[in-house]
Amino acid sequence: MPRHRPRSNGFPRTPPPREEGPQRIAKLLARAGVASRRDVERMIAEGRIALNGEKLTTPATLLNDLSGVTVDGKPVRPAAATRLFRFYKPQGTITAARDPKGRTTIYDRLPPGLPRVMPVGRLDFMTEGLLLLTNDGELKRQLELPRTAIVRQYRARAFGRVTQPQLDRLAEGVTIEGVHYGSIIANLE
């Protein structure tokens, strides 16, 4: 019998949180959905984050939990359970929270009522397809790290003539403008 029974959405149930030692406050607040770690560091510098009524002066503060932590004078709720969402990213949207050029972002297309979510990886502006979103920055990081060797699969349309022998050479990796890209297994449909 499987350890985690799938829910109706096809994802396994979230395992119970593992016990960890003290962590940096920026990590805890990011996990609780307050802001990104970098933004939390700015908020600390601005004097907006306090612990037991005392404004924090350093993001190196280590805590076991968020008890007594306030942001702009309001208590912080504990982090929600880790969640993973599937999102079909349409063409003509950027995988970012904001775009200086004013283009539509994935956040403009997400349904209302979602918790603070982050994309796992990214798809180009004119690329469409499945994009995973999560409320857990640590899970996002683990899924994106090359060492975790999670297989990513893409379907691409090429203009012009492409042969299977050309695609087979991608298995050795390819160097473009001095940057070497790893092995790609590519097949013609």
**Catalytic machinery residues:** 124
The type of residue at 52 is N
Query: Terminal CA-to-CA distance of the chain, rounded, Å?
Result: 37
Give the CA distances from residue 62 to residues 26, 28, 33, 56, 82, in Å, rounded to whole numbers and listed in that order: 9, 9, 18, 11, 22
- What is the spatial distance between Cα 29 and Cα 33, in angstroms, rounded to a whole number? 6
Reading the block at residue 103, the tokens are 């283009």
